[in-house]
Amino acid sequence: MIKNRNEVLKISFSAFFADLGYQAAVASFPILFVVIFGAPIPLYGFAEALNYGLGTAMSYLGGIAGDKFGRKKIAILGNSLILFTSLLGISRDYIEALIFFMIGWWFRNFRSPPRRAMMAEVTLPEERSEAFGILHSLDIAGALLAITYLTILLFVHVSIFLILLFTSIPLIISTLVLSTVKAGYKRENAVKEKRVSLNRKIMLTVVISTMFFGFSQYSFGFPILTTTQITGKDYLGVLSYGFFLGASSLFGYIFGKLKLKELESLAFLGYFLAALASLGFAFLSRMGLLSLYPLSFLMGIAVASTETFEPTIISKVVREESLGTGMGYLSAGRSIGVFIGNTVMGVLYQISYTYAYLFASISSLISFILILSLILSK
């Protein structure tokens, strides 16, 4: 049993409400940008690279700012500015849509490292796998509900612009919940812990491997577009995101509870499984929903593993006073990969989605090999 369970749940439910809001915008953005506003696919890939990739700097800065000025203060600031994603509801062309989503997403990145550091702060090392599993599970449960209401409302022909404006409500609730957490205050004289587990090699390998995984953890907008284009139905495209999120939420909780070996689980249940899922998208998508939904589910399991075990590993190999910075490095590594990955995916997708997903599969396999080499060298 986690000793500070109430604080863990507050952080996790803040994540739940945040995703209940902005994940509807995440799923809507490719439809808005490409289908409604008519932007070409390569431009969409570049737009997602700006959204996710330039968030690299925001992740890194958020981690440093959290350690310097107080993690709670920085997390609340970033969380409150995710509201920009709701302004997609007033966008009138793809330039406006990009600006609103980009700003909101950048500040989402800004608040993630200090929030993760707050989670590590309120838990003991042996509790963190379960704590990050709970965080990811509730985080993605909110996202799944967001996709559920988005799918239903699109099916009954509610305006996507009205839906997006509605997402501001759960985002405001998220910030209010986060403000009640009893953690993350600035400490003038942080006590430096001596940790045997301080291991720069492990940290560097995980950061590099998550960068390569970022090449493959493309914006899920690509599978949404693939499903939409193959079926001709936008709500079926959004539903593929629901399968992804459902698996991610369920297995995030399961992985946290099972007390699995962290490096091995990250390698096999995260990176290797993601390589298989992307390979499936490359060669099995023509089968339609019979392949697209199961592959989305498998990718959700892979992401659940990475989101549970990556921050758990990092939290054990950095000192307490540098937790925010360590989480910032982790988020920045992923963001660099996503920046490059989305750009390449957009170009390759224009030629053939098979080439795009094959690139993603190879990138995940490199991440797997990096962690496997770390395991074998122990």
Question: How many residues would you count in the chain?
Answer: 378
Q: What angle do CA 339, 104, 174 make, to 5 degrees?
A: 125
pTM above 0.75, yes or no: yes
Q: Does the pLDDT of residue 108 top 50, yes or no? A: yes
Q: Kindly state the DSSP code that residue 192 receives in the 8-state scheme.
A: P
The pLDDT of residue 196 is above 70: no
pLDDT tens-digit readout, 322-348: 888 888 888 878 777 777 777 788 889
pLDDT at residue 89 greater than cutoff 90: yes
Tokens of 351: 């030629």
How many Cβ atoms from other residues are within 10 Å of residue 90's Cβ? 12
CA distance 202 to 35: 43
Share the mean pLDDT of the chain.
88
Q: Are 10 and 181 in contact (CB under 8 A)?
A: yes
Q: What pLDDT, in 10s, does the model give residues 288-327?
A: 999 999 999 999 999 999 989 999 998 888 877 788 888 8
DSSP designation for 84? G
pLDDT for res 336:
79
- CA gap 29, 166 in Å, rounded: 15
For residue 216, pLDDT beyond 90: no
Query: CA angle at residue 150 from 173 to 20, to 5 degrees?
Result: 25
Indicate whether 218 pLDDT > 80: no
Number of H helices, E strands in the chain: 16, 0
- Specify the higher pLDDT residue, 318 or 119: 119
Mean per-residue pLDDT, 63-80: 94
- CA-to-CA distance for 352 and 30, rounded, in angstroms? 18
What domains sit in the chain, N to C, each tagged with a CATH number? 5-180+197-376 (1.20.1250.20)
- Decide: 25 and 146 in contact? Cβ < 8 Å: no
- Helix 94-121 with 71-80: angle, nearest 10 deg: 160
What is the Cα 77 distance to its own chain's centre? Answer: 19
Mind listing the pLDDT tens digit for each residue in 10-48?
999 999 999 999 989 988 998 899 889 988 888 887 887
Determine the Cα–Cα distance for residues 257 and 325; give it in Å rounded to an integer: 27
Question: What band does 132 get if pLDDT is binned at 50, 70 and 90?
Answer: very high
Cα distance between residue 117 and residue 115, in whole Å = 5
pLDDT for the residue 217: 58
Does the pLDDT at position 204 exceed 70?
yes
Asked whether residue 94 carries a pLDDT value surpassing 50, the answer given is yes
